[in-house]
């Protein structure tokens, strides 16, 4: 990674990260870095233009802010880094306290660039003898198809690469990226997956008819789901931040798109270490060793 000379800072709409952003701008400019500051909720046209003109984007907030920014900037390929102001901070490599040394290393180009897959999704609705796109977008972590009412099951027909894989009666189905495997997928018993892998993870949620073990698919696989029972109130949830209704007869299509999200990391083994540090993986009894 080359040294960073222009940095876009995006802050969550909260006093603490906003104050940090305002303090960082003069600190960066004193070190020869052209810095600009925007709220993470700025309009997409401005944000994408500023990101495209920058060497990197620093996001001040929690994991939700990081995911929301990444979704809005998907495809720009300007690398993202995060400073954690949230509870878990799984995606953020910079601490809110003691950030000076790691940020200096990042600006000097001593961090590594990682490339990650995102999910492209679209909802198709029948129009006469064809289908038209009703909604479409990008997911960084996952897309979840589930009932709009808590503790109600839905019936979903699942096709993979043109093969009718299963018709499920379940609480829902999660399709996740490797980067998002530590979120809802892991809670539902899906596999933890190294983020740099180009894979899509499909995990049924509490199936009691038509269930299958979680399955990992290539990025190129075409996943198709349909709500197939009248009366089910089915919602598509994107990264837990956006919701779209899925009516009977609508078709949800999902595919993986590699190399759409770039991230800067200080440690190539950050994922494995953070699984342990954040308590997602817990150590059993016995001696701990650094291998």
3-state secondary structure of 3: coil
CA 53 to chain centre: 23
> Strand ranges (DSSP E) for 85-221?
112-127, 130-139, 142-147, 154-160, 163-170, 172-176, 199-205, 215-218
Q: 59, 78, 79: which is closest to 69 by C-alpha?
A: 59
Q: Alpha-carbon distance 40 to 53, whole Å?
A: 17
Taking a C-beta distance cutoff of 8 angstroms, is the pair 93, 79 a contact? no
Active site annotation includes 63: yes
* Sign of the torsion formed by the C-alpha atoms of 186, 190, 192 and 196: negative
Whole-number Cα distances in Å, 256 to 108, 141, 226, 260: 32, 11, 18, 10
- 3-class state of residue 237 by DSSP: strand
The token pair that represents 78 in the structure block:
């300007």
Of 63, 142, 232, 239, which residue is the catalytic one?
63
User: Angle at the Cα of 44 (from 40 to 47), degrees rounded to 5?
Assistant: 60
Which residues, in sequence order, are CB contacts of 195 under 8 Å at separation 6+?
114, 116, 177, 178, 179, 181, 271
Q: CA–CA separation, 172 vs 219, rounded Å?
A: 21
Catalytic residues: 63
């Amino acid at each position: 990674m080359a040294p960073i000379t222009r940095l876009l800072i995006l802050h969550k709409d909260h006093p603490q990260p906003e104050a940090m952003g305002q303090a960082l701008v003069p600190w960066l400019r004193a070190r020869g870095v052209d810095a600009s500051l925007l709220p993470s909720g700025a309009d997409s046209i401005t944000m994408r233009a500023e990101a495209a003109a920058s060497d990197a984007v620093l996001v001040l907030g929690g994991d939700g802010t990081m995911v929301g920014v990444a979704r809005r900037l998907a495809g720009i390929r300007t690398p993202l880094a995060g400073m954690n102001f949230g509870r878990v901070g799984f995606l953020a490599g910079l601490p809110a306290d003691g950030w000076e040394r790691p940020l200096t290393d990042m600006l000097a180009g001593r961090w590594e660039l990682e490339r990650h897959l995102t999910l492209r999704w679209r909802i198709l609705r029948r129009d006469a003898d064809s289908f038209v796109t009703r909604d479409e977008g990008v997911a960084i972590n996952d897309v979840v198809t589930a009932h709009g009412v808590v503790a109600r099951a839905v019936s979903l027909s699942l096709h993979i690469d043109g093969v009718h894989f299963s018709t499920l009666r379940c609480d829902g189905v999660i399709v996740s990226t490797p980067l998002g495997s530590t979120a809802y997928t892991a809670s539902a018993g899906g596999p933890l997956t190294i983020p740099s892998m180009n894979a899509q993870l499909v995990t049924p949620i509490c199936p009691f008819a038509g269930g299958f073990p979680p399955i990992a698919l290539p990025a190129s696989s075409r996943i198709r789901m349909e709500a197939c029972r009248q009366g089910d109130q089915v919602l598509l949830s994107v990264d837990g931040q956006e919701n779209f209704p899925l009516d009977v007869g609508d078709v949800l299509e999902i595919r993986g798109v590699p190399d759409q999200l770039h991230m800067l990391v200080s440690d190539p083994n950050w994922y494995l270490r953070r699984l342990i540090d954040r308590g997602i993986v817990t150590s059993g009894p016995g001696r701990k060793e650094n291998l």
